[in-house]
Amino acid sequence: MTGYYILAGIIFLVSWLVSNQLKRKFKKYSKVHLQNGMSGKEIAERMLADHGINDVEVISVQGRLTDHYNPANKTVNLSEPVYMQRNAAAAAVAAHECGHAVQHATAYSWLTMRSAIVPAVSVASKLSNFVIMAGLVLAFSGMAFGNWIFLIGIGLFALTTVFSFITLPVEYDASKRALAWLQTNNIVTPEEYKGSKDALKWAARTYVVAALGSLATLLYFISLFLGRR
């Protein structure tokens, strides 16, 4: 298991570095105030209206970087700073989350696929590590069926890995839609646009790191299983 702990440590370090850089970027671009004076809430409502979406509500939620779109109840949930503030970072996040609403309204295939497997992934993410550890303990104890339990755990973990990779095109497409709308409709100035684009770039990288980390861990578990056969 030493190899796993080393791998987990590397993944944690890279994830921490990217996350810290993301926070620094958002702090930087939170100081770039929009010349149009629009808040994140107003930008979100404008983008939804421009795309003919009238059944999605923009609401405020607690926390920082807790922004998300909920397709179940059709709400664009903006963290309090994004909801109220009037800067390049808030514009980027608000438009990005509305990008998901546009995906939902247009039945974007990757979002549809991701939404379809959410219930299964929710269960898999809760059970995979427990099942894997139980299988390993039983296998190392000499119980033959321990390997089969370990394999089931790997299957559960594989589902979460697939989900993390399906998430990538969903997130990148939402950012692409957001930036195109911000620029085409002159919502932001060229300088503000650069800030919004950079902020979304680093946000996307957190998903890339998570996906690669999940894949690396999955491959390690698979190699461990094959090594025991």
Residue 97 bears catalytic tag: yes
Cα angle, residue 103 at apex, residues 97 and 109 outer, rounded to 5° = 135
Sign of the CA dihedral running 191, 202, 83, 118 = positive
Between CA 160 and CA 128 the distance in angstroms is 9
Active-site annotation holder among 45, 97, 171, 192: 97
Q: Write the DSSP assignment of 171-198 as a string of letters.
A: HHHHHHHHHHHHHHTT-S-HHHHHHHHH
Structure tokens at 161: 């890995």
Q: Among 15, 6, 4, 1, which residue's Cα sits nearest to residue 164?
A: 15
* Chain centre to alpha carbon of residue 117: 15
List active site positions: 97
